[in-house]
Structure 1
């Protein structure tokens, strides 16, 4: 199995993937505590640096790129510093950003974390500031995204719909992507935080256990209920497979042929941060499917990749080199 997975890491290199969804700029403002303000009993921070990290659908894009895929990002950016910073970071990773449409009427979705520390203290997050435009996409912007999809979809071997609830993937765009992939036998995976049932007809689904419980309509408290939930989601979505990530319990893959595969975690010893691990799993899974890899092996490799991601702070990407090393160590 180890040799098979290492071979798959080689096989996924330079596979062409399209990711459409809510592109998020994760901004980290690092400051040093200088004093207490005279205006109010609050800390005064001297800003030392500002980092832009891909988040949301952009984190899926980032992971596809660092794992060795050729990736097209499709989504919305505002005409602001956050949008420019996110585009620059993605382009530095070799991402094709021609599908990122500018909309001057919208803010780039961003999550700004203020991180503070001082001499002899551990830096830690003290506040997070989220911003996005809640209004639906204009017909013009939706048409621009549709035009981008029509141009790029024939170039790729796999598609991810990454829905974080911010409205980038409209009903018309969902239909366009799913129908194209179905008609051209291109694997497509959806990861939807709040509205999975609107993506009926997609080939594969990735959900964490809490999201799956919401779709199934009951809390998943044991393996019996997990099996029931997986069967319900498969039926509701008319999908080929459902991958449910379960934190310290690993992953479970349900296939429409009745097969169920439990994939245990590879390493429980060093879990620092679970944020973004699901994006890593989706990126690995679609690269494998685009390469013609069997879904169960795709889930195995996605599990290894997620195990690396949770041992990093923040929304972090995983490289092919790291993946090979971890597979070899196990």
Structure 2
């Protein structure tokens, strides 16, 4: 166990300052907190007095945030509107040191946002009562795509890793996808895609991250056992000509399938799970930083498993810091040696 901890600590040190590009659907998660005042006379609904508003980085922006807090140098690339949500996202990411020059504003569309209305009172537990989503379904304008392409080309010479975070909102066009995947292949730069609905389009990507439900949907069949998941992951790996497929399985841990190798990774911490929101983003952030540092894929996956275990014990989409990850590594060693 001591040797493994040394390997983790060496990887964590190597991850610091790695230059990563993240392209994808940047989402503003907005939380409106309301205190229950009374029942409306207009309809049988609650009247809430707004008590607070918070904007949190979601979607690809949460990957950016996690890379920044884990010590990476990260460039956020994506579409936003000219609105308050965009201002909030830029402020959140820039506060953690992310480069936000690649967040291109398109006046014709809003920033993708998910507004959650939270209701509570002095004698009641606060809970979400409704979510309002806002995004444009229109294809990206050619002029905007050209601006994104120009920015990507300008920073690619410094980049050591690429993340494509595709939530299905149209930021990752085929043209931008090809530009990034081709560049990574030519330069030998690690890349990873996390695609909610269309992972099979990313041929030539280095690594693929899916959860068990996503890969089952992608392959069009139920995956009831570990053997089923391994078979599906290998099928997907071969189809995309990828180096590896990482499947997250909640309380069952992770499975990394490489050419000729399968790594089953149990959960790192079985303490209470508060919220799985954004844990996949933390996983991707840790994996790409480790790969950029030259860490073996299996070690990168195990390290990301520890980082994800921290994230699920926090409420809402959240980030994991270098200090938290280092402490979790030390804790896992202490628990192992005490047995």
Give the alignment of 1:71-90 within 5 angstroms. Answer: 71-90=74-93
The equivalent position to 1:325 in structure 2, one of 313, 327, 332, is 327
The equivalent position to 1:271 in structure 2, one of 257, 270, 273, is 273
C-alpha distance in structure 2 between counterparts of 1:227 and 1:73, whole Å: 32
How far is 1:10 from its partner?
1.6
The equivalent position to 1:235 in structure 2, one of 229, 234, 238, is 238
1:126 maps onto 2:129 in alignment = yes
Q: Who is 2:30 aligned against?
A: 27
| TM value normalised by structure 1 | 0.98
Q: Who is 1:283 aligned against?
A: 285
Q: Deviations over 1:164-186 (max 9, x none)?
A: 00000000000000001111111
Q: Who is 1:49 aligned against?
A: 52
C-alpha distance in structure 2 between counterparts of 1:38 and 1:318, whole Å: 45
Give the alignment of 1:1-330 within 5 angstroms. Answer: 1-256=4-259, 258-330=260-332
- 3-state SS in 2 of match to 1:123: strand
How far is 1:217 from its partner?
2.6
Q: What stretches of structure 1 of length at least 5 have no aligned partner?
A: none
How far is 1:84 from its partner?
1.1
C-alpha distance in structure 1 between counterparts of 2:279 and 2:294, whole Å: 23
C-alpha distance in structure 2 between counterparts of 1:5 and 1:251, whole Å: 17
C-alpha distance in structure 1 between counterparts of 2:79 and 2:219, whole Å: 31
Q: What stretches of structure 2 of length at least 5 have no aligned partner?
A: 333-339
| TM value normalised by structure 2 | 0.96
How far is 1:132 from its partner?
0.1
Q: Which moves more between the two structures, 85-94 or 1-10?
A: 1-10
C-alpha distance in structure 2 between counterparts of 1:180 and 1:224, whole Å: 34
C-alpha distance in structure 2 between counterparts of 1:215 and 1:82, whole Å: 32
How far is 1:3 from its partner?
2.2
C-alpha distance in structure 1 between counterparts of 2:95 and 2:27, whole Å: 16
How far is 1:153 from its partner?
1.3
How far is 1:120 from its partner?
2.3
Q: Who is 2:336 aligned against?
A: none
Please identify runs of 4+ aligned residues in structure 1 that moved more than 4 A.
none
C-alpha distance in structure 2 between counterparts of 1:228 and 1:127, whole Å: 39
Name the Cα RMSD after superposition: 0.8
C-alpha distance in structure 2 between counterparts of 1:216 and 1:229, whole Å: 7
C-alpha distance in structure 1 between counterparts of 2:229 and 2:98, whole Å: 37
- 3-state SS in 2 of match to 1:142: helix
- 3-state SS in 2 of match to 1:122: strand
C-alpha distance in structure 1 between counterparts of 2:200 and 2:257, whole Å: 17
Q: Deviations over 1:70-122 (max 9, x none)?
A: 10000001011111111111111111001110000011000001111111221
Q: Deviations over 1:151-209 (max 9, x none)?
A: 11111100000000000000000000000111111101000011111110001000001
How far is 1:2 from its partner?
1.6
Contact 2:230/2:255 (<8 A) preserved:
no
